[in-house]
A and B are shown apart, each in its own frame.
Chain A
Amino acid sequence: SQQGEEDPQALSIQEGENATMNCSYKTSINNLQWYRQNSGRGLVHLILIRSNEREKHSGRLRVTLDTSKKSSSLLITASRAADTASYFCATLVYAPGNTPLVFGKGTRLSVIA
């Protein structure tokens, strides 16, 4: 079953604008991760944020985590056409062992040049 729900399902913006995607989940987690997937391709790991962290940055990416609301957001600043992809959040309920990452439904981002 899916743990996360992304919002919006699809997002279309102009190049240079910021893109914000949200993810909500249902149970307590150990960490939350964001992935990118270009059409028909494999997953690219973007960033991992642990349950005791509130914000994390990586280049043009900024991820926040609010465990009280069971939600996370991914912000891509100064978007580029190459950022066009699907973005998924994935949660790890407890770690590590053999518990899998559970994926949300994803947000399809289109960046128009």
Chain B
Amino acid sequence: DGGITQSPKYLFRKEGQNVTLSCEQNLNHDAMYWYRQDPGQGLRLIYYSQIVNDFQKGDIAEGYSVSREKKESFPLTVTSAQKNPTAFYLCASSNRDFSYNEQFFGPGTRLTVL
């Protein structure tokens, strides 16, 4: 099945630790995205990548880092500099075949920092 996988579904970390969230897609999509969602809120864009080895900051990039070494993978690192990292993190991808505005989302990772 084609799709986007995020792992793990739930993640717990101690304050001050960096943590990396995984996102893999087998849709052959060029563009990939990371969003953050807080309870009762909409999604906010953290980073996005339009092509391998290139990425741009979204609206709330501070305290996060990404890499895009392979087309299929776009891992997100939540660093200790992120002041309030507990949230629901969503990865998405899109391609010109449908429209870059038709983004396919993964199931999300719920990160809790204790």
Does A associate with B in a complex?
A: no
